[in-house]
Structure 1
Amino acid sequence: MKKEERMAYLQEKLQQCKEEVELLKREKFELKHQQMEAEKLQFPWAGNLGHWEMDLVNRKVIANPLKIEALEYDPKKDHFTIEDFVGMIHPEDRDRAYQDMKDHLIGKKPVYETEYKIVTRTGKIKWFYDRGVIIKRTEDGSPHTVKGIVFDITEQKLAEQRLIESERELKKTNQIKDQMMRIMAHDLKNSLGNVVNIFELMLQDPEFFEAKEEDEIKREVFEASQNSMTLLENLLHWAHVQQGTMKLEKEEVRIAALFKNIYDMFKIHAMQKGIDLCIELPEDEDLIAIGDFNMLSTVFRNFTNNALKFTNKGGRITLSAHKNQNGVTIQVVDNGTGMGEDMIQRIKRKESQSNTGTENEKGTGLGLLISKDLIDGTDAKWIIASAEGKGTTMGLKIPSKP
């Protein structure tokens, strides 16, 4: 090949190489552009972006001012090691974030990527999203430098938590509504239905009933009405407790007045069932507790109603109170049918029970469930002791006036 031809051939090859280099440059530019666009799509909150670089050999971290300021430090004065930054990560997330970084450094993951809570200089909690990649290695191939980006996603996380809490509250409200509707549709309807049916019979044929039968009907109407009122009050109290709208006051509560309120409410019911309902209080003391009178009335009304339900004719129910080391112990003690340990544990777990009483009295088990919820919101301690065939004691240990 002549010299001129050889030169022309070399120039042609050189031109081809230049064109290939330019093509590679354009492809690299396009690839970089696509990567940047993908990151924009993946991280729409890029306005909170901060850069960081971690030197694994010298154990130093370089971060741009945005990240330093987000942690409430001075970018001009404060400098950090890797250990400094790891120490700022919330203990709940520290191990997981460390493992995510380790997985990238040993090659298990192509990119370091994690979310964690971090504690600022003044103790505030913020949420960060971190993403990075190894950009430099040592001569032996070990990771030398990791470079990455960080996003402050605190507002996003708080919004997610508010949404989760709203969904939880909505679900809870729906559950309360559904349970109330079931109880109202079944128990309250049945109780009020009995009253309506009895009055309907009396209005249709008033001369059909003898005086003795009329007295019995009046008793049944009274019991049905009382049960309906108790159930309705329990429902309202329970709904307020579940929704957190019931505010309990701390006031002086005279135990004698509390017991008189309970006694007056149930004395006719106890007399009709042939049960001795009595009050036992120290004669030389005016016992005073610190609590909410309405709450205590609700709890002991339910305790007494439960005792009446499961005490046989001729039995005894005692409302008693005495001082203890730290306050006052108030109890409802009966010698009724009692219950086993399994039933006691179910009550403590707030599992609603609906059992038939000694004279086939119906119930929902809602009374004790409400009582447990009310007690749990105070500093009172619930007393429950029972044995099958040996009666039941239910009560409270509550603070007393010094």
Structure 2
Amino acid sequence: MFAEIPDLIFQFIIDVDNNYSFPLFSKSIEEIFELSTSDFLNNIKSAISERIHPSDRDLFFQSFVKARKQVSRWEVEFRGILPEKGLRWFKISSKSELSSDGKVSFFGHLSDITELKDKELKLRISEERFQFALEASTTGVWDWNMLTNKVFYSSLSLKILELESADVLDDPERWDQIVHPDDLPKYYSDIQDHFENKIPYYENYHRVMTSSGNYKWILDRGKVIERDEQGKPLRVIGTHTDISVQKEKELELIKTMKLYSDQNSRLLNFSHIVSHNLSTQAGNIKSILDFIDIDEKKETIKEMLIHLRTVSNDLNDTILNLNQIVQIQSNMSIIIRPLNLVEYINKTISTIKNFNSETNANIINNVPEYVTITFNPAYLESVLLNFVTNAIRYAHPDRSPIIIFDYTIEKEGHKVLKIKDNGLGIDLDAYGDLLFGMYRTFHKHKDARGIGLHITKNQIEAMNGKVFVESEVGVGTVFKIVFNDEL
């Protein structure tokens, strides 16, 4: 029976005088240890010692001495060097018994575990390579057991979230709570599509809140690796990759491209205005001069000179307006400093009353006195004055104008000034896209030139701010200035 067993089966006895004997050992010693029975029995200790790797001899004999002394199990793994097979791994597993005469007997087996050790080594190398690859790529791993509804997160996944332990993040609902609200719908949709086998794997870009309260962009990928008989997911494995740096560069690129697009649009609009207005007025001057050449009557010349003066004044206004726009858009060294918003609103109110003491406008300032914004002083005066004078100029004929200044803070932290009036209002469906265009007018008013809002928008954008409008015909208008300042 022993001949059929590949392991070396043995009974080994050592007495109180350290004499060794092997009452029982299987013939497989010749195959496993490359040692004949006679050589083994003639010098047991020497035969074994010669086969053990020099670096493992102390481990081997110390484990044996300990098992003998404690009369406990003897288990040890060690390397051996054989004449033909070379380096091999072995394992001894045995139990011990103490007899009445002080002898200790070991009953067990010795196995060749070289193939197992080779597999363990390859697995360890593979795991080390995988771990190195994960660490080098800043990619974390997650494993979702849907039966227990528990999720394992690797150390790198936790590092992305600036967490030390997975204890606070062990179920999928906790992850859902830190996903940015704006990203949740597509996040749910993408993973559900994969669960329903509509797509071969799950992939989604979303923001997650870290322990510091800041958001990071991650690329979340996953795949169902186990389903039940009905196709319901049982286990999902995936990765988290921190792509905040790439996403910030992408958003900055989009922002830059939009800036260039807006600048190109303004340049195209500017060139059309220059071409149309200057050519029209130049044509008017030529026509007047042609009339003077044809009709030399003194009365005709006098009349034509009056027209020429009007055209000349219009041309001068056009050139001044265009020059102002060019200065705003090309001024790279404009002065910017903190300004008290209430102070400039009060200055605007005072300017309006001094200019037109008969105005019956009721101007209400709800802005707190402590509010400051970073802006150019001259631009801020111009912006506030233009919005207020427009509100008075386009007041509703059936009621006295009311102008209200309100201050708010957006959820992103940007400071916002709202200027509300109860005037004529603007039909945004008809004129919304044209509202801030140059020489665009929307009411029949004798002083309307269509340049103020265009200049105002350029001044706000030159300060990296934004302007928005809400309006209803017959009710009034609200202009919202979003400053570049953040709390």
**Normalising TM by the smaller chain, what interval?**
0.5 to 0.7
State the 1:395 CA deviation: 11
Within the candidate set 159, 171, 187, 2:249 is matched to 159
Q: Is residue 208 from structure 1 mapped to residue 305 from structure 2 by the alignment?
A: no
State the 1:170 CA deviation: 1.0
Within the candidate set 312, 324, 348, 1:225 is matched to 312
Q: Residue in 2 aligned with 1:255?
A: 352
Deviation digits for residues 70-112 of structure 1 (CA, Å, limit 9, x no counterpart): 1121137644211111222222222322232233333333322
- How far apart, CA to CA, are the structure 2 residues paired with 1:74 and 1:230? 67
Q: Is residue 52 from structure 1 mapped to residue 142 from structure 2 by the alignment?
A: yes
Contact kept? 1:88, 1:119, Cα under 8 Å:
yes
Contact kept? 1:132, 1:146, Cα under 8 Å:
yes
TM (normalized to structure 2)?
A: 0.47
* Larger strand fraction of residues: 2
State the 1:383 CA deviation: 10
- How far apart, CA to CA, are the structure 1 residues paired with 2:182 and 2:471? 35
If you compute each CA radius of gyration, which structure gives the higher value, 1 or 2? 2
TM (normalized to structure 1)?
A: 0.55
- How far apart, CA to CA, are the structure 2 residues paired with 1:331 and 1:134? 59
Contact kept? 2:139, 2:241, Cα under 8 Å:
yes
Residue type of the partner of 1:208? Answer: E
What SS does structure 1 have at the residue aligned with 2:137?
Answer: helix
Q: Residue in 2 aligned with 1:13?
A: none
Within the candidate set 196, 199, 213, 1:109 is matched to 199
Indicate how the Cα distance of structure 1 residues 67 and 372 shifts in structure 2: closer, same or farther if over 3 A, else same. same
State the 1:134 CA deviation: 2.8
Indicate how the Cα distance of structure 1 residues 120 and 368 shifts in structure 2: closer, same or farther if over 3 A, else same. same
State the 1:157 CA deviation: 1.5
Q: Residue in 1 aligned with 2:274?
A: 184
Q: Residue in 2 aligned with 1:313?
A: none
Indicate how the Cα distance of structure 1 residues 181 and 137 shifts in structure 2: closer, same or farther if over 3 A, else same. closer
Within the candidate set 259, 271, 277, 1:169 is matched to 259
RMSD: 5.7
Q: Is residue 346 from structure 1 mapped to residue 430 from structure 2 by the alignment?
A: yes
Indicate how the Cα distance of structure 1 residues 94 and 295 shifts in structure 2: closer, same or farther if over 3 A, else same. closer
Indicate how the Cα distance of structure 1 residues 66 and 242 shifts in structure 2: closer, same or farther if over 3 A, else same. same
- How far apart, CA to CA, are the structure 1 residues paired with 2:387 and 2:150? 63
What SS does structure 2 have at the residue aligned with 1:114?
Answer: strand
Say how many residue pairs are matched.
305
Deviation digits for residues 164-189 of structure 1 (CA, Å, limit 9, x no counterpart): 11111111111111111111111122
- How far apart, CA to CA, are the structure 1 residues paired with 2:468 and 2:141? 51
Contact kept? 1:111, 1:133, Cα under 8 Å:
yes
Question: Which stretches in structure 1 are left out of the alignment for 5+ residues?
Answer: 1-28, 260-278, 308-320, 334-340, 387-393, 398-402
Indicate how the Cα distance of structure 1 residues 343 and 187 shifts in structure 2: closer, same or farther if over 3 A, else same. farther
Residue type of the partner of 1:216? Answer: E
Residue type of the partner of 2:216? Answer: K
The percent of aligned pairs where both chains have the same amino acid is 20
* Larger helix fraction of residues: 1
Bigger RCO of structures 1 and 2 (CA < 8 A, at least 6 apart): 1
Q: Residue in 2 aligned with 1:81?
A: 171
- How far apart, CA to CA, are the structure 2 residues paired with 1:199 and 1:257? 43
Question: Which stretches in structure 2 are left out of the alignment for 5+ residues?
Answer: 1-121, 368-378, 406-418, 461-465, 480-487
Residue type of the partner of 1:177? Answer: L
Indicate how the Cα distance of structure 1 residues 224 and 330 shifts in structure 2: closer, same or farther if over 3 A, else same. farther
Indicate how the Cα distance of structure 1 residues 81 and 367 shifts in structure 2: closer, same or farther if over 3 A, else same. same
- How far apart, CA to CA, are the structure 1 residues paired with 2:468 and 2:195? 53
Contact kept? 1:350, 1:369, Cα under 8 Å:
no
State the 1:122 CA deviation: 2.6
Residue type of the partner of 1:80? Answer: D
What SS does structure 2 have at the residue aligned with 1:80?
Answer: coil
- How far apart, CA to CA, are the structure 2 residues paired with 1:160 and 1:84? 28
